[in-house]
Amino acid sequence: IQLTQSPSFLSASVGDRVTITCRASQGISSYLAWYQQKPGKAPKLLIYAASTLQSGVPSRFSGSGSGTEFTLTISSLQPEDFATYYCQQLNSFLFTFGPGTKVDIK
């Protein structure tokens, strides 16, 4: 199963609403997770089962979708949110990741 993400890069300002899309090459039900990674750090789980917020993650993060199309939304971008975001499918073993979306400061 291949995952694509769009955009691959986005430039945004503090307070902006940001949406990242992840598309799967075949249906994966809701077996999708989203991660945030900052330079030199391990990834951090934000969302699992497509729309469930991981404990401790701010409520400005939300996820939606099922089947082949998914979105991660940050409702109001904060300075600490500038990072790279990855989706991951867990529907079938060979737990592929998407190529990533880098969110940079405008």
Partner 1 sequence: EVQLVESGGGLVQPGGSLRLSCAASGFTFSSYEMNWVRQAPGKGLEWVSYISSSGSTIYYADSVKGRFTISRDNAKNSLYLQMNSLRAEDTAVYYCAREAFMGLGFDYWGQGTLVTVSS
In the bound complex, what is the minimum distance in angstroms from residue 83's beta carbon to partner 1? Answer: 13
Cα–Cα dist 36/16, whole Å: 17
Out of 33, 72, 77, 103, name the contact with partner 1 by CB under 8 A.
Answer: 33
Dist CA 99 CA 3 (whole Å): 8
Residue with tokens 């307070």: 15
Residue 96 contacts partner 1 per CB under 8 A: yes
Give yes or no for a contact between 26 and 80, defined as CB atoms under 8 angstroms apart: no
Number of residues in contact with partner 1 under rule CB under 8 A: 24
Draw the binding track, 53-72, toward partner 1 (x: CB under 8 A; -: no contact): -x------------------
